[in-house]
C-alpha cells in the first residue's frame, strides 16, 4: 500500500495508461478523491464497468476531491441522466445506462457541458463513446471477488495525460 491506501500498478506498455486496484468501498472513494483533486477544467472522464463495479462509488470520491461534496450527496443520475455538483469546477455527472445512443444526448445539451468550463464524468460511457471528444480519460472498472476492483485508466490528449501523471504522483506520494 502507498500513502493513499490504494494499491497501484503502472502499466509498462504506455505512458498514457495507469492501473490500480482497490479492495474496499473506502479505498474506491479515496481513489476518486485523489483524482478529483488534480482535475482541470475541460476534463472528460468516461467510466465503464459492469453493474455494481463501483462507478458511482468512484464518482462520490471524485466529487469530494474536486468540490468537497459529501459522499451521501452524490447519487447516480440513472433516471435524471445528469447531476451537477458545484464548487471549484462544476462537476457534470452523467449516466448513459438508459440511453440508446448519441441521439438521446441532444435533448440535454450534452455538447454544452462537455465543451464547458467544468469537468464531465460519464458512467456507462460505452453507450455513447462516439459522443465524447477525442481527448479524454477513460477508466474501465472490473469487479473481482472480495470487493476488489481493478481500474484501468487510459488518457488521450495532453490535458488528460497531465491529469493522469498528476494522479499517479499523488497516489504514489
CATH of residue 127 = 3.40.50.300
Full domain range(s) for residue 73:
25-147
pLDDT at 123: 95
| 154 lies in some domain | no
| 8 lies in some domain | no
| 77 lies in some domain | yes
Q: Take residue 17 and report the three cell numbers written for it.
A: 495508461
| 113 lies in some domain | yes
| 62 lies in some domain | yes
Alpha-carbon distance values, 64 to 73, 92, 123 (Å): 10, 13, 17
Instruction: Give the total residue count for the chain.
Output: 173
Task: Tell which residue, 11, 2, 10, 72, has the closest CA to residue 31.
Answer: 2
Q: Is the pLDDT of residue 62 over 80?
A: yes
Total domain count, the chain: 1
Cβ(94)–Cβ(110) under 8 Å? yes
Cα torsion through 23, 31, 10, 40, rounded to 10:
160
Kindly state the average pLDDT of the residues 53-58. Answer: 95
| 9 lies in some domain | no
d(CA 43, CA 136): 7
- Residue 115: pLDDT band (50, 70, 90) is confident
Amino acid at each position: 500500500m502507498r500513502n493513499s491506501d490504494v494499491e497501484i500498478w503502472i502499466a509498462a506498455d504506455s505512458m498514457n495508461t495507469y492501473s490500480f486496484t482497490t479492495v474496499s468501498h473506502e479505498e474506491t472513494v479515496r481513489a476518486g478523491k485523489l483524482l478529483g483533486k488534480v482535475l482541470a477544467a475541460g476534463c472528460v472522464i468516461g467510466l465503464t464497468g459492469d453493474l455494481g463495479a463501483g462507478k458511482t462509488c468512484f464518482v462520490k470520491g471524485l466529487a469530494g476531491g474536486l468540490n468537497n461534496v459529501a459522499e451521501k450527496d452524490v447519487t447516480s443520475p440513472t433516471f435524471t441522466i445528469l447531476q451537477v455538483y458545484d464548487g471549484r469546477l462544476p462537476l457534470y455527472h452523467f449516466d448513459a445506462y438508459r440511453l440508446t445512443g448519441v441521439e438521446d444526448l441532444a435533448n440535454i445539451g450534452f455538447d454544452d457541458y462537455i465543451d464547458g468550463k467544468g469537468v464531465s464524468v460519464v458512467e456507462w460511457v460505452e453507450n455513447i463513446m462516439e459522443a465524447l471528444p477525442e481527448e479524454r480519460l477513460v477508466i474501465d472498472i472490473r469487479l473481482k471477488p472480495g470487493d476488489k476492483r481493478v481500474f484501468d485508466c487510459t488518457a488521450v490528449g495532453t490535458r488528460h495525460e497531465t491529469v493522469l501523471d498528476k494522479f499517479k504522483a499523488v497516489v504514489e506520494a
